[in-house]
């Protein structure tokens, strides 16, 4: 299994600013994903982070709001831009190996004031 | 629209009993199936994966897959209070790229 770290673990940001979340995997993974989880709800896929190219975004998520980078196989960043209180959520990154088993980082809890 | 459905619960079972969690999915091209456990305030933890019809056992956990009925279940034998958590069913499929669709989760309470 992959061990995935994220930072920061939590942050409080002001409206209109941006937050960049980093995700590091301890071994090479085939796929990396970014999810959002609202309190008491399930996981919603934001995008697939593609190595060296633009991320693949799900319906309702756009690159201008959620720019993602993945410069190599073990590292990715998600930026949440122009923050509003509706962006308050937990953001999770995950990595998947050859067996398609997906492992999650500990999450980043974002509060927008 | 691709969907994964679970009963939200809570499902309450006494300690030592078998807990049965169910999940149905709508997309017939779904290829891989997973159960995650999520404790409050924590990220999801993978507990079982299953890829072909039938049963797969791992310790106290058994996953069952029936692709014809588009149904996957998780049995937890000898349930313990520490099993109390939300259990998420996830389906992996190709839709443009490979992705995962999560159910809304079933909250399990094991009563001591």
- What are B82-106's pLDDT values in tens digits? 999 999 999 999 888 889 999 999 9
Distance from C-alpha of A2 to C-alpha of A30, rounded to nearest angstrom: 11
pLDDT of residue A1: 75
Q: Using the structure block, give the residue that is written with the tokens 């190599």.
A: A72
Report the residue of chain B nearest A58, measured CA to CA: B99
Q: Is A107 on the interface with B (CB under 8 A)?
A: yes
Q: Is the Cβ of A42 closer than 8 Å to some Cβ of chain B?
A: yes
Residues on chain B touching A100 (C-beta within 8 angstroms): 31-32, 49, 92, 98
CB-based contact B46 A101, cutoff 8 Å: yes
pLDDT one-digit tens code per residue, A27-38: 888 899 999 999
Give the residue from chain B lying closest to A42, CA to CA: B104
Average pLDDT for chain B: 94
Determine, for residues A43 and B43 on separate chains, whether the beta-carbon distance falls below 8 Å.
no
Predicted pLDDT at A21: 98
Structure confidence by residue, pLDDT tens digits, A37-87: 998 888 999 999 999 889 999 999 999 999 999 999 999 999 999 999 999
Tokens matching residue B2: 């691709």
Contact A41 B104 (CB under 8 A): yes
Query: Any CB–CB contact under 8 A between A104 and chain B?
Result: yes
pLDDT exceeds 80 at position B2: no
The mean per-residue pLDDT over the stretch B60-81 comes to 96
Half-sphere exposure for B73 (CA within 13 Å, toward CB):
13
Q: Which of B85, B105, B100, B106 is nearest to B33 (CA)?
A: B100
* Largest separation between any pair of C-alpha atoms in chain B: 46
Give B-chain residues touching A41 at CB under 8 angstroms: 104
| C-beta atoms of A104 and B99 within 8 A | no
Q: Least CA distance to B106: which residue of chain A?
A: A42
pLDDT tens for each residue of A85-102: 999 999 999 999 878 899
pLDDT of residue B33: 96
Is pLDDT above 70 for B1?
no
């Amino acid at each position: 299994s992959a061990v995935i770290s994220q930072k920061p673990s939590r942050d409080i940001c002001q409206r209109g600013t941006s937050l960049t979340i980093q995700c590091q995997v301890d071994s090479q993974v085939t796929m990396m994903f970014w999810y959002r989880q609202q309190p008491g709800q399930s996981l919603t896929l934001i995008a697939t982070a593609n190595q060296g190219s633009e991320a693949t975004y799900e319906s309702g998520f756009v690159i201008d709001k959620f720019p993602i980078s993945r410069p190599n196989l073990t590292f990715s960043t998600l930026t949440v831009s122009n923050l509003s209180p509706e962006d308050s959520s937990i953001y999770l990154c995950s990595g998947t190996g050859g067996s398609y088993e997906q492992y999650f980082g500990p999450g980043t809890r974002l509060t927008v004031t | 629209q691709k969907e994964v459905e679970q009963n939200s619960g809570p499902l309450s079972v006494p300690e030592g009993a078998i807990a049965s969690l169910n999940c149905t999915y709508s997309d017939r091209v779904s290829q891989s199936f997973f159960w995650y456990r999520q404790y409050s305030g924590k990220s999801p933890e993978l507990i079982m994966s299953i890829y072909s019809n039938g049963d797969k056992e791992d310790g106290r956990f058994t996953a069952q897959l029936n692709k014809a009925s588009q149904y996957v279940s998780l049995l937890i034998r000898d349930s313990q209070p520490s099993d109390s958590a939300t259990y998420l069913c996830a389906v992996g499929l190709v839709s443009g790229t490979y992705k995962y669709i999560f159910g809304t989760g079933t909250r399990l309470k094991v009563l001591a």
